[in-house]
Amino acid sequence: MKPNYYLLVTIIVLALYSCSAQPEPFKYGRDICHTCKMGIVDPKFGCQLITGKGKNFKFDDLVCLSRFIKSGSVQEKDIKQEVVINFEKENDFLDVNKTFFVVGPEVKSPMGSHAAAFVNKEAAEKFNTGKTGTILTWKELLLKLD
């Protein structure tokens, strides 16, 4: 009996794909923040931390992600990806390290980080026009969040 190589290749590809660490679209009203246990309901906010093993931690606000990171629950070497929702586009995930954040009192985030994520500095500046916010990188914002 000749082995079915196509079936074997298909199984391997599916196994590799199922283990890939990718952000999951939020199920608003059903997903729960890993840190504060509140429901994730605002499509302009939300973030995820994904480990190399594919474990996905969901958060309703950047302050919750910050607290989780600072708690040491996951070691830095085990973090594969940290993503945040683009303030201007629902379920559009941005790498936190390539994102610009507007932080200010006009941004009403779920848990009070007052931070909104934008795809680039120009988009952040445009949103911040006429507002009192500050534009920060992820490293700068992480230092400010408790």
Q: What is the pLDDT along the chain (146 residues), one digit of tens a residue?
A: 455 655 444 444 444 444 557 999 999 999 999 999 999 999 999 999 999 999 999 999 999 999 999 999 999 999 999 999 999 999 899 999 999 999 999 999 999 999 999 999 999 999 999 999 999 999 999 999 97
pLDDT at 21: 76
- Of how many residues is the chain composed? 146
pLDDT at 109: 97
- The set of residues, in sequence order, having a beta carbon less than 8 Å from that of 33 and lying 6+ positions away, is 39, 40, 58, 59, 60, 61, 64, 111
SS3 15: helix
pLDDT at 146: 79
For residues 104 and 132, give the distance between their C-alpha atoms in angstroms, rounded to a whole number: 6
Task: State the burial class of residue 81 (Cβ atoms within 10 Å of its Cβ: 0-12, 13-18, 19+).
Answer: middle
Domain boundaries along the sequence of the chain: 23-144
Of the candidates 52, 47, 46, 67, the residue with the CA atom closest to the CA atom of residue 21 = 52
Of the candidates 102, 98, 83, 79, the residue with the CA atom closest to the CA atom of residue 139 = 98
Read off the pTM.
0.84
For residues 77 and 20, give the distance between their C-alpha atoms in angstroms, rounded to a whole number: 17
DSSP-derived letter for residue 10 is H
Token representation of residue 106: 């006009």
Task: Compute φ and ψ for 60, nearest 5 degrees.
Answer: -90, -15
Q: Tokens 């309703």 sit at which residue?
A: 60
